[in-house]
Amino acid sequence: MNKKTLQRIRRVLAAIFFLGITLMFLDFTGTLHKFLAWMAKAQFLPAVLALNFIVIAILLIITLLFGRIYCSVICPLGVFQDGVAHVHNWFKKGRYTYSKAHNILRYIMLGIFVVLMIAGVNSLAVLLAPYSAYGRMVQSLLGPIYQWCNNGLAALSEHFHSYTFYTKEVWMRSLPTLIVAAVTFVVLVVLAWRNGRTYCNNICPVGTFLSFFSRFSWFKMHINEEKCIQCGMCTKNCKASCIDGKNGFVDYSRCVTCGNCMAVCPKEAIEYKHVKGNPAPVGANNHSPLPADKKTEETVDTSKRAFLIGSAVALGTAALAQEKKKVDGGLAFIEDKVMLVRKTPIVPAGAGSLQRFRNHCTGCQLCVSQCPNDVLRPSTTLLHLMQPEMSFERGYCRPECTACGDVCPTGAIQKLLKEEKAVTKKGQAFWFAQNCIVVSDGVSCGNCARHCPAEAIEMVPLRGDTTGRKLIPAINESKCIGCGACEYVCPARPLSAIYVEGVEQQRTI
């Protein structure tokens, strides 16, 4: 085997996974996920949360056979760091040194992660999780750039009367998530630029977990002492800092089988093969503690544009600027709707109970990036930070759409058929008299009833109205599915006169 073969294979596979996952996050047309959703489902942590035993078994078997190749091929965050480190290599080659494993640090991190997950504080736990950290970065940072480029093409395509590209509105779904993504990005770039896989060796819970298995992997990097001239090239080029070339020692718990050492060894002294015995030092002391690179937790204040329903009373209906009627008069101004803070958040259909959803979601933002109706956005509440929830200022949860359930890799949003989704109750609509234009302006409306896909709204006479023309919505709770169509099409602004609250337990009606 050529000494560069392993490195080449690894690079090709890594590129395929990395591009596939990145594109899946970026593509908002719902086309690619049909072909690529398996790449998200092959991620370790999502598979654990989805109790996807087949994937878990395959990943463990791969690790037991080949070492932590998962980290350098399948994990997009790992590949991302390799990319950053590789760029640094253009300027400065052979800058790594061997360091002992910081076992205490990484076991503590893994422990914290497991405890937080079990305690249900996913929002903190997932700050450490590799796949969802990558997802957030792509969705929040790269997504807008991609969409702007797309919109440029859409403008071109409109110019040429083609319908190939269409405009996608670029809007910030959640400031805290954007900040978390930006901080993650900066921290990881700095760490990877300086020392390669610092995050993977010390913080990543998946990496630490896999390290228990990779020590015993069948194929390993083996330094042939007869050929080795102790030049130290392997050590200098090991981004995992796990090769002690002077002593012919490799820490298999950190080796991600990237093959870089093989490629640079002048004597072809490094072989990737089966070795008997287990030379991995367990419980080595960490003599040079690395700076603790725990990501900063952002304080979260509720978005300025969010209003509590209680305060809505004071606002009342915005009187739609009823300009003096003139013909040929252009367009009326439309005031933006504000996002309600709902007592119970509305989570995507297929979440089951709110608790179940909380425990399974890693906040990777894949569903948010795929939602074609601009309904999903990451939560801004501290406990559930970055987990998706719905709001209906820009659209509503359309009956025929099952995009979020189709892509969710963790099973937090279970895959539903169109027919199942149409009868899944995820929320409950309420009428808010003060805002209803029938009450405040005396206009007849009924738009909520006209657009309710579940036919749960009927217009009934307003009590005490003698004209018989003032009809208000009567919501049949047993039929309402909480899709938000009524809230979206309600003419009252900035707050709708009919709004949806989530339900703790979703159910079929």
Partner 1 sequence: MKDITRRDFLKILGAGTAVTAATMAGCKNDGDLNPTGTLQPQKGQMTYRTNHNTGDKVSLLGFGMMRLPVIEEQAPKGASGREAKAAPIDQEMVNKMVDKAIEYGVNYFDTSPVYCQGRSEKATGIALSRHKRSEYYLATKMSNFAPGTWPRKESIAMFNNSLKELQTDYIDYMLLHSVGGGEDSMKMLQQRYYDNGILDFLLEKREKGVIRNLGFSYHGDVKVFDYLLSRHDEYKWDFVQIEMNYLDWHFAHEIEEANTKAEYLYNELAKRNIPAVIMEPLLGGRLANVPDHIVREMKEREPERSVASWAFRFCGTFPDVLTSLSGMTYMDHLDDNLATHCPLKPLTDEELAFLEDIAKKIYDLKNIPCTACQYCMPCPYGLDIPGIFTHYNKCIKEGNFAKSQEESDYKKMRKAFLVGYDRSVPKLRQADHCIHCGACIHHCPQRIRIPEMMDMVNEYVEKLKQGTL
Binding residues for partner 1 (CB under 8 A): 158, 163, 166-167, 320, 322-334, 394-395, 398-400, 437, 443-447, 450-451, 489, 491
Least gap, CB of 490 to partner 1 (angstroms): 9
Say if residues 216 and 258 touch (Cβ distance below 8 Å).
no
The DSSP code for 353 is B
Coil, strand or helix at 272: strand
**How far is C-alpha 79 from the geometric centre of its chain's CA atoms?**
17
**501 is written with which tokens?**
């609250």
The conformational region for residue 51 under phi > 0 = left, psi -120 to 50 = alpha, else beta, is: left
CA atoms within 13 A on the CB side of 352: 12
User: Pick from 312, 303, 476, 486: which is nearest to 395 by CA?
Assistant: 486
- The residue among 255 and 497 lying less far from partner 1, judged by its C-beta, is 497
Least gap, CB of 339 to partner 1 (angstroms): 15
Least gap, CB of 444 to partner 1 (angstroms): 7
Least gap, CB of 447 to partner 1 (angstroms): 4
- The residue among 150 and 195 lying less far from partner 1, judged by its C-beta, is 150
Least gap, CB of 146 to partner 1 (angstroms): 18
Whether a cis peptide bond, with omega within 30° of 0, leads into 494 is yes
- The residue among 248 and 491 lying less far from partner 1, judged by its C-beta, is 491
Q: Using the CB atoms, write b or e for 318-356: b if 16+ within 10 Å.
A: eebeeeeeeeeeeeeeeeebbbbbbeebbbbbbbbebeb
- Give 69-86 as a DSSP string: HHHHHT-HHHHHHHHHHH
Coil, strand or helix at 416: coil
Coil, strand or helix at 457: strand
Least gap, CB of 374 to partner 1 (angstroms): 9
- The residue among 90 and 333 lying less far from partner 1, judged by its C-beta, is 333
- The residue among 277 and 468 lying less far from partner 1, judged by its C-beta, is 468
Query: Residues with Cβ < 8 Å from 235, sequence gap 6 or more?
Result: 96, 97, 98, 243, 244, 245, 246
- The residue among 142 and 459 lying less far from partner 1, judged by its C-beta, is 459
- The residue among 271 and 393 lying less far from partner 1, judged by its C-beta, is 393
Least gap, CB of 123 to partner 1 (angstroms): 31
Alpha helices in 120-197 (DSSP H): 122-125, 130-137, 143-159, 175-195
Say if residues 110 and 208 touch (Cβ distance below 8 Å).
yes
**How far is C-alpha 457 from the geometric centre of its chain's CA atoms?**
35
Q: What's phi and psi for 131, nearest 5 deg?
A: -65, -45
- The residue among 93 and 450 lying less far from partner 1, judged by its C-beta, is 450
- Give 372-383 as a DSSP string: TTS-EEE--SGG
Least gap, CB of 446 to partner 1 (angstroms): 7
- The residue among 279 and 399 lying less far from partner 1, judged by its C-beta, is 399
Q: Which residue is it, tokens 């890693």?
A: 362
- The residue among 109 and 449 lying less far from partner 1, judged by its C-beta, is 449
Least gap, CB of 493 to partner 1 (angstroms): 9
- The residue among 55 and 422 lying less far from partner 1, judged by its C-beta, is 422
Least gap, CB of 347 to partner 1 (angstroms): 23
Coil, strand or helix at 283: coil
Least gap, CB of 435 to partner 1 (angstroms): 14
Least gap, CB of 408 to partner 1 (angstroms): 22
- The residue among 9 and 332 lying less far from partner 1, judged by its C-beta, is 332
Least gap, CB of 407 to partner 1 (angstroms): 20
Distance CA 399, CA 453 (A): 7
Say if residues 367 and 389 touch (Cβ distance below 8 Å).
no
Dihedral angle computed from the Cα positions of residues 441, 446, 451 and 455, in that order, rounded to the nearest 10 degrees? 140
- The residue among 322 and 478 lying less far from partner 1, judged by its C-beta, is 322
